[in-house]
Amino acid sequence: MMADFGFKFHHLGLAVPRADEAVTFLSGLGYALGERVFDPAQNVNLMLSRHPHMPAVEIIWPGNGPGPIDKYVARRPSGIVYHVCFETADRQASLAAIAAANLNPICVAEPLPAVLFAGRAVSFYAVVGMGLIEILE
């Protein structure tokens, strides 16, 4: 049975210890690099990069002090794609559809306004068979 989760793909999340090498690599692939921003609610630095023919990539690197990507960067200092972001018009309906498919979404981070996305709410869920997803409302 096919389920409709009400999602549209938005970007891949790449955790790195610092942005320089990721910027160089993505630039070499022809990505347009967005503005570097700091999100104090998550204590991370962010940059969204876009390409006309490839998926968007959000570069995430640590702020000062503890943050949500520390464990990923410690385990994979060369960088790791650790989440997939999906947009939805109705987060609760999307989560209900995922749960109805027996994929057990577990909230990892409650919705917060995201600096990178003009204050739109983002939340994170661990989903069986997918790993960590970000939901952009």
Residue-range definition of the domain harbouring residue 21 = 8-136
Residue 69 CB neighbours (<10 A):
23
Q: Which pair of structure tokens corresponds to residue 117?
A: 């996305």
Question: What is the domain-level CATH number for residue 59?
Answer: 3.10.180.10
Q: Which pair of structure tokens corresponds to residue 76?
A: 């994979």
| Number of domains comprising the chain | 1
Residue entry with tokens 């968007």: 56
Provide DSSP, 10-40: EEEEEE-SSSHHHHHHHHHTTPEE---EEET
How high is the pLDDT of residue 95? Answer: 97
Residue 124 in domain: yes
How high is the pLDDT of residue 6? Answer: 95
Residue 79 in domain: yes
Residue 6 CB neighbours (<10 A):
17
Residue 120 in domain: yes
One pLDDT digit (tens) per residue for the chain, 137 residues? 456 999 999 999 999 999 999 999 999 999 999 999 999 999 999 999 999 999 999 999 999 999 999 999 999 999 999 999 999 999 999 999 999 999 999 999 999 999 999 999 999 999 999 999 999 99
Residue 51 in domain: yes
Residue 2 in domain: no
Residue 3 in domain: no
How high is the pLDDT of residue 1? Answer: 44
Residue 116 in domain: yes
Pairing mode, strands 131-136 and 80-87 = parallel
Residue 112 in domain: yes
Contact 42, 112 (CB under 8 A): yes
Find, among 14, 5, 16, the residue nearest to 86 by Cα. 5
Measured CA to CA, the distance from residue 61 to residue 16 in angstroms comes to 5
Q: Is the dihedral of CA 28, 49, 19, 36 positive or negative?
A: positive
